[in-house]
């Protein structure tokens, strides 16, 4: 035990931790924007027609023994320059950002260059807005999402951005504490994130696999009906529900405003 501690102190003194260093010790919930829509049935055809809805839009900064990792980047920081927000999804949504991601990282004393890895759930504008705030950070993305043509056939990412293209699940640090879970459907390469925290316990960050809790119980509730791949989305949901059961994990729905209101926000953190 004493030898182990001495070795750990030695490694820390060298300023580098062994590649085998394991475990997540902090997860910060960062505000990455908000959205409002006048008609909830956009996500639930025939259900709650004409009922307005407000959505949260979070990012998550994870501190692992091997370094920092960012999950999702939210709306572009530039949106913060327009306090009343901008119109999205052909006018169906109002998107707003009152605080930048850059300012929240700065408040934690974390520089973009300190963040070694990042992943985005998918390439919709409320999730990829700030990828280029971290131009040196290794981006983990499904090959299917990376190669999915954007508007006018344009690439979704800058070709010079360091990238690891995935084809399925990926254990980021090799110790099972941060695992990218492939959940296609909403978009071709949509992914969710499993995180294991010592005190809080295991959890899954949904991406847009779900937008609000009712989707888990109402079977014909298809939030992106016709705009994604419903069959793939259904099997991705079954996969995540099985994972939640197997691991005894909690599901954190990133756009769920009611759940969001109860979360501790950065600089407070979950451990």
Tallying the residues shown for the chain, one arrives at 271
Distances in Å between the alpha carbon of 128 and those of 42, 65, 104, 235? 21, 26, 17, 24
* Binding residues for Zn ion, total number by CB under 5 A: 2
Quote the least distance from Cβ 174 to Zn ion, whole Å: 29
Q: How many Å apart are CA 137 and CA 155, to the nearest integer?
A: 18
The nearer residue to Zn ion, 63 or 211, going by C-beta atoms, is 211
Could you tell me where the beta strands, DSSP code E, fall in 65-190? 67-71, 86-88, 93-96, 115-119, 138-142, 163-166, 170-171, 178-182
Site for Zn ion in 67-96 (CB under 5 A): none
For the residues of 70-82, what is the DSSP string, one character each?
EE---S-GGGGGS
Six-digit token string for 112: 């973009």
Stretch that binds Zn ion, among 2-10, 22-30, 60-68, 118-126 (CB under 5 A): 118-126
Quote the least distance from Cβ 151 to Zn ion, whole Å: 17
| Cis-peptide into 115, omega within 30 deg | no
Asked if 34 is part of the footprint of Zn ion (rule: CB under 5 A), the reply reads: no
Asked if 260 is part of the footprint of Zn ion (rule: CB under 5 A), the reply reads: no
Quote the least distance from Cβ 210 to Zn ion, whole Å: 11
Report angle CA 29, 155, 208 to the nearest 5 degrees. Answer: 35
The nearer residue to Zn ion, 32 or 105, going by C-beta atoms, is 32
Quote the least distance from Cβ 18 to Zn ion, whole Å: 37
Asked if 208 is part of the footprint of Zn ion (rule: CB under 5 A), the reply reads: yes
Quote the least distance from Cβ 205 to Zn ion, whole Å: 12
The nearer residue to Zn ion, 63 or 256, going by C-beta atoms, is 256
Q: List the one residue from 34, 72, 77, 126 that touches Zn ion (CB under 5 A).
A: 126
Q: How many CB atoms lie within 10 A of CB 246?
A: 9
Quote the least distance from Cβ 126 to Zn ion, whole Å: 4
Residues at the contact surface with Zn ion, assessed by CB under 5 A: 126, 208
């Amino acid at each position: 035990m004493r030898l182990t501690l001495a070795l750990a102190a030695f490694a820390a003194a060298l300023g580098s931790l062994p590649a085998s260093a394991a475990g997540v010790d902090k997860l910060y919930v960062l505000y990455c924007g908000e959205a409002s829509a006048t008609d909830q049935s956009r996500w639930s055809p025939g259900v709650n027609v004409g009922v307005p809805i407000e959505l949260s839009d979070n990012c998550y900064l994870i501190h692992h023994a091997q370094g920092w990792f960012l999950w999702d980047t939210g709306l572009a920081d530039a949106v913060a320059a327009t306090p009343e927000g901008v119109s999205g999804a052909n006018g169906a949504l109002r998107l707003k950002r009152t605080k930048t991601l850059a300012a929240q990282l700065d408040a934690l004393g974390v520089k973009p260059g300190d963040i070694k890895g990042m992943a985005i759930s998918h390439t919709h504008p409320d999730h990829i807005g700030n990828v280029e705030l971290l131009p040196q950070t290794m981006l983990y993305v499904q090959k299917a999402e990376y190669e999915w043509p954007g508007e006018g056939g344009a690439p979704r990412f800058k070709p010079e951005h360091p990238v690891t293209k995935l084809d399925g699940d990926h254990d980021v640090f090799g110790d099972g504490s941060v695992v990218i879970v492939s959940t296609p459907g909403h978009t071709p390469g949509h992914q969710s994130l499993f995180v294991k925290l010592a005190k809080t316990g295991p959890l899954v960050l949904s991406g847009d696999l779900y937008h609000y809790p009712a989707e888990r119980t109402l079977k014909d509730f298809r939030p992106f009906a016709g705009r994604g791949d419903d069959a793939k989305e259904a099997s991705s949901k079954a996969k995540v529900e099985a994972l939640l059961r197997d691991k005894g994990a909690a599901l954190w729905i990133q756009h769920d405003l009611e759940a969001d209101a109860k979360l501790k926000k950065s600089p407070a953190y979950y451990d």
